[in-house]
Structure 1
Amino acid sequence: MDTSVPSVSERRVHVVPLGYERDRIVEPLRRHGADVAYLLVDAPDRDAARGDVDFDAAQAVDPGDIRIDPDGLTAYQRDAWAAVAEFAEVRAIPVAHADVYDVLGVTTTVAARHRASAEDGDRLFGNVSTGPRIAAVGVALACMIVGARPYSVEPERHRHDRREEPLTTGIERTVDLPIYPMDAPTTDQVAVLGRLHDRAEGNLTTEKWNLIEWARERELSFLREAGESRTAKYRALETHVLSPLRERGYVDLEDIGRSDTVRLTETGRRVFFAFKHKLDGR
């Protein structure tokens, strides 16, 4: 999770399904200084359209005021709600946990409310550990769409030995999940990530011109239309490779003297391993 200090004007806003958990809901919010916690309370029969959020009702203290049956909550869920309210603003939203589109829509609506995609907006996080699997998928997809930070919380211990008995028994139904195209890096971008990875493994720094010469030897496509001008080659590298990678947090640039050193971030390293299959046969 991103734990860097927010600016004076921005707040840490968390979206957390109120599932059958207590510590995995409360403790991450406490430890990471949540300012606002949206608790997604399961309401399978709610009347509102998918993704709709009544922000005025969400601030109610009494579950009955947000059209949630208090008797439907367990004692530890109510305790989690009260515990979070001691250090953060709690805003409860009824949502159908078993409807991935409802969870996704509610989460993106919250993101829009807090301008999470804007530079001057709040910082949004999504807990993907505290609800059923479908709710987790909805929160995770929403975070990817709006550029928020999803996080997972590993429990210290389980209630029973999973080596002796399974977590669940039987099945009720199978649910189709939405498919969203991911903005995967291009083959050229993956190749450059691989070059940076190999250089870093050898404790070698990498300048832009080193990347250009290496890419020319391997006939990477981004240089084919650049011509022979040195300036044009730098522009092609920046436009087609480095700028997109930098925007996604895969690389960093550092000014050293008259040269720009390109460094692979930890995220960029993981992305390289995830997509290096694109380089098969090259």
Structure 2
Amino acid sequence: MDTSVPSVAERRVHVVPLGYERDRIVEPLRRHGADVAYLFVDAPDRDGARGDVDFDAATAADPADARVDPDGLTGYQRDAWTAVAEFAEVRPVPVALADVYDVLGVTTTVAARHDAGAADGDRLFGNVSTGPRIAAVGVALACMIVGARPYSVEPERHSHDPREEPLTEGVERTVDLPIYPMDAPTTDQVAVLGRLHDRAEGSLSTDKWNLIEWARERGLSFLREAGESRTAKYRALETHVLSPLRERGYVELEDVGRSDTVRLTETGRRVFFAFKHKLDER
């Protein structure tokens, strides 16, 4: 883990799934001077769209005071929560830990909130050892996308029944995970995914010209250099938005008469929720 001293204004912010663990949650935060710890509390049926974070509600040193279900926590999970609150600011966030897109979306939203990766932003870390494997994948992917540091925590000992006691005890060491650059969808692409989602929710079809007119009204960047030619606008939409989204399986095209209907795939819908925080940055 990066242990270099942060600047005066910079904070160390950690995202940590609150799984069947105690020491692997608490000790890395303590040892590496965490300032803020976002605890991802499992909430499979949580309110709100995937990837959403209610930052106003995300504060509580005691599980009993949080807007999550404290009855769903084990005794050692509560203990981990209160132990972290002794030295860091705890921000509990309900997350569907079995949904990789929810975990990914919440993590990238937290990163955006703290300007992680920016010169004057906070330093973001992600613990990939304390939740289910799906949660680990979501946190790791998000860290790679935003340029944060994922880390793995190796236990000293293993327990057996997580219903009675934590899976592990103590911390042997933390291990940096490799970072691979990943291309997140652009703001324009996320905006178009959102448009397709909203139209689909209203049972409305969407063709390319509808997207162009909508994008023009909202000043999306891909049209700024296209000029007034209708052909150039179609080319800009295809080059900068639709072609990349089709290649990734986020949208599909269907020939309907003389126009192409653009449809959002299920993967595209989930990706929209994972990255819709980018629309707040425009």
TM-score (norm 1): 0.58
Farther off after superposition, 136-145 or 186-195? 186-195
5+ unaligned residues in a row in structure 2: which ranges? none
Change (3 A) 1:249 1:4: farther
Whether contact under 8 Å (1:207, 1:259) holds in the other structure is: yes
1:164 maps to 164
Pair 22,267 (structure 1): closer, same or farther in 2 beyond 3 Å: farther
Q: Is the 8 A contact 1:251 1:262 kept in 2?
A: yes
* Aligned CA distance change for structure 1 residues 144 and 268 (closer, same or farther; 3 Å): farther
Q: CA deviation at 1:63?
A: 3.6
Cα distance in 2 for partners of 1:56, 1:190 equals 25
Residue correspondences, number: 282
Q: Which sits farther off after the overlay, 50-59 or 242-251?
A: 242-251
CA distance, structure 1, for counterparts of residue 257 and residue 109 of structure 2: 46
Cα pair 1:143 1:149 within 8 Å, conserved:
yes
Cα separation, partners in 2 of 1:69 and 1:263, compared to 1, 3 Å: closer
Partner Cα separation in structure 2 for residue 44 and residue 179 of structure 1:
29
Question: Which whole-Å deviations, capped at 9, do the CAs of 1:100-151 have from their partners, x for residues lacking one?
Answer: 0000000000000000021110000000000000000000000000000000
Q: Give the conservation status (yes or no) of the 8 Å contact 2:157–2:169.
A: no
Does 112-121 or 215-224 show the bigger shift? Answer: 215-224
Unmatched tracts of structure 1, length 5 or more: none
Distance 1:89 1:272, change over 3 A: closer
Q: CA deviation at 1:67?
A: 3.2
Contact 1:60 1:66 in 2 (8 A): yes
Partner secondary structure for residue 281 of structure 2: coil
Q: Is the 2:156–2:171 contact (alpha carbons within 8 Å) kept by the matching residues of 1?
A: no
Structure showing greater relative contact order (alpha-carbon pairs closer than 8 Å, 6 or more residues apart): 2
Cα RMSD (Å): 15.9
2:176 partner SS: coil
Give TM-score scaled by structure 2 length.
0.58
Partner-residue secondary structure (3-state), 2:92: strand
Structure 1 CA distance for aligned equivalents of residues 120 and 281 of structure 2: 44
Counterpart in the other structure of 1:82: 82
